[in-house]
Copies of this chain bind each other. A is one copy, B any other.
Amino acid sequence: MQDVSSLVARAREGAPRAVARLISLVEGAAPELRRLMAELAPLAGHAYVVGLTGAPGVGKSTSTSALVSAYRKAGRRVAVLAVDPSSPFSGGALLGDRIRMSEHALDSGVYIRSMATRGHLGGLAWAAPQAIRVLDAAGWDVILVETVGVGQSEVEIASQADTSVLLLAPGMGDGIQAAKAGILEIGDVYVVNKADRDGVDAAVRELNHMLGLGEAREPGDWRPPVVKTVAARAEGVDELVAAVDKHRAWMEERGELRRRRLDRAAREVETIAVTALRERMADLRGNTRLEALAERVVTGGLDPYTAADELVRGVTGS
């Protein structure tokens, strides 16, 4: 195993393979991870994290690619982290990488990486912030975090972002689907992609209507804009970048950016702590062993709360 410090140094010089190795340490929950995070701590905090979520078929990959081009035009170095929280087939993610890489393959100001989090005890909430910290400390200006899949995992990814962009497309019953998936409230900026299709105005209307259904806003509160794009032709993408920048400016002005980052760090710390406590629980022996408690719950001799009390006593001694 290569020395962590030299990997960090090379990652900060822009070496993509060093960045890739570091993210693999995160993915693999390598023992070096503690030391890596300790080294990165003073280096991070400069990148801006944009989350991209949306159901399959809305043109997420195309939008990511168009957004990368727009940021590059503005001279910003962009890293893309594509998180697939549930795929059992890492080959799929790799294929996606190759397809998306092609357009930006020769640009050293772009870094694209898929990450699988399946099987991690702490899951996405555990791995994503650490991968983001790697990219941040390595000096990337903008980190686009794109997630595959819908529902809970999207909400988790959105919570990792400074600005969360939610993509929809007309004619997919989007409003209803988004509401069902519980993701309507996570967007700071909404995009109706494939805006050259029929039904785009209806989709924007429906979306604006649903966004208006939330609580009444205070003056000065952020009103999420709805941007129309045709990502495949790069139409509307500059407007999308402008909307993200406007949200960033609003957040900085209101102290909201700092608040979000504090929240994010709190959740990250809590997730690592909970993961550690769960590992302790798995290591218990005797009467407070989880398997022994489960046995008594299944046979009806113990209720799950009393069992949980005993488990907690096992790790805390109180």
Contacts and interface: CB of A to CB of B under 8 A. Distances in A.
Interface of A: 33-34, 37-38, 40-45, 56, 84-89, 92, 118, 129-130, 148-153, 155, 177, 179-185, 258, 261-263, 265-266, 268-270, 272-274, 276-278, 281, 290-291, 293-295, 297-309, 311-312, 315-318
A181 to B, nearest CB: 6
B278 A266 contact: no
Please name the 5 residue pairs, one residue from A and one from B, whose CB atoms are nearest each other, closest first.
A86-B182, A272-B308, A266-B294, A265-B294, A41-B303
13 contacts: A34-B305, A37-B304, A41-B301, A41-B302, A41-B303, A42-B301, A148-B180, A265-B304, A269-B297, A273-B309, A274-B277, A276-B308, A277-B312
B151 A85 contact: yes
Main secondary structure, interface of A, reads helix
A155 B184 CA distance: 22
B149 A181 contact: yes
Contact of A179 (B87, B179, B295): B87
A85 B152 contact: yes
B312 A182 contact: no
A272 B44 CA distance: 35
A265 to B, nearest CB: 4
A265 B295 CA distance: 8
A149 B180 contact: yes
Q: How many copies does the complex hold?
A: 2
A277 B314 CA distance: 12
A129 B298 CA distance: 12
Contacts of A118: 182
Nearest to A126: B304
Contact of A151 (B149, B307, B318): B149
A88 B182 contact: yes
Contacts of A86: 151-152, 155, 180-183
Given A40-B303, A151-B86, A301-B41, A270 B311 contact: yes
Contact of A270 (B266, B270, B281, B302): B281
Contact of A305 (B37, B84, B294, B301): B37
A41 B308 contact: no
Contacts of A88: 179, 182, 184-185
A87 B270 contact: no
A37 B272 contact: no
A116 to B, nearest CB: 10
Contacts of A155: 86
Report which residue of A129, A153, A177, A180 has the largest number of chain B beta carbons within 10 angstroms of its beta carbon: A180
